[in-house]
Amino acid sequence: MAIINGKIFNGIGFYEGKALIIDGNKILNIINTEELSIKYPNINTFNADNSYITPGFIDLQLNGCGGVLFNKSITKETLEMMHETNLKYGCTSFTPTLITTPDVNIIKALDLIDSLENKEEIGVLGLHIEGPFISLEKKGVHNPNFIRKIDENILNRICQTGSEGVKIITIAPENIDGEYISKLSNSGIKVALGHTNATYEEIVDKKIYGITLATHLFNGMSSFSHRAPGAIGATMNLDFCAGVIADGFHSHYGAIEMAHKLMRDRLYLVTDAAAPAGTDIKEFDFEGIKVYHENGKLFAADGTLGGSALTMIQGVQNLVKHCNLPFEEAVRMATIYPAKAISIENKYGKLQPGYFADINIIDTNLNLKKVISKGKFI
């Protein structure tokens, strides 16, 4: 299949007059359109009708969507429903995110991910384990009954699966020994600070053991002041990569714009979405905490935010409309920046020969028109 008559994103800008060739689940070639009939005389074509052609979006924090929640049902069927829902909104790859929960559920998720063959075909990159090794003071909607310090048994089990199955683990640096951080990092897992009340100095001390990411910048973090920069200041100043939720509820759009000016390619878009995303569900149970959905906002009875109902295409649109970012940069924040953050930029996040054929076709009004997942037109 050849996609023609579109504006292909090359990571820097958009260029026209090219045909993007798909073979199986990979991008085979990008050639001048006039060469198509000579090099591929019998190929079928898809007319992009002058729309933008971008890589598929990558979401590194997704608790659930489409009416399902990974914590509630740790099954392949849940992952398949999440993927099916994601594709409606341009997200072709994701890290199913398990929030604070007992060890038995962490092990169940690890066993599931270990058992999956060709998990990439259902969009799964690997797990994001967000807690339970976090701070009670910055727990957010996480159930405090399950928050605890890590021990060697669960540490070893997580490292046994390693980076093939676990892409990210979110921890509070002040509550974990440096040697444990090193063990996680040395197994290939990206260690993220998050739900943390650590001081700036505590984060400096623990960063050297292998922390490279930060989970949902501004949320669940010790706050910033000029005398105590906290986790927010550390994230922006110490070269961490960080996800940010651009839904208008978790962070002021001006704060996101400011963070982007400081962080540039270290800042990537996440949804932190839960079961209501892509549905009209009004309430759900989030690991023992009842969460309500009203006008796009998810919140517990005490007002604490409980994930989001954001989709990736909405996030991209919000970055352009409310954060004054060029469309090209919003696309990078949803594609190559998250890919680089978890070291998969050799297969994901770009439209290049040899990369997975995960592709979005987006019109000039930034509406999603067509999604291609591993070469399959959805």
Active site members:
272
Instruction: Please tell me the distance from the alpha carbon of residue 185 to that of residue 70, in angstroms, as a whole number.
Output: 24
Number of H helices, E strands in the chain: 11, 23
Backbone angles phi, psi at 106, to 5 degrees: -60, -45
From the number of C-beta atoms within 10 Å of its C-beta (0-12, 13-18, 19+), residue 75 rates as middle
Q: What share of the chain is helix, strand, coil (3-state, %, to 5)?
A: 30, 30, 40
- Three-point CA angle 344, 131, 226, nearest 5°: 85
Of 146, 123, 101, the C-alpha closest to 57 is 123
Alpha carbon separation from 337 to 226, 305, 343, 369 (Å, rounded): 28, 26, 10, 23
Nearest to 27 by CA among 5, 10, 51, 49: 10
Instruction: Specify the residue for token string 């005398």.
Output: 227
Q: Examine residue 144 and say whether the peptide bond preceding it is cis (omega within 30 degrees of 0).
A: no
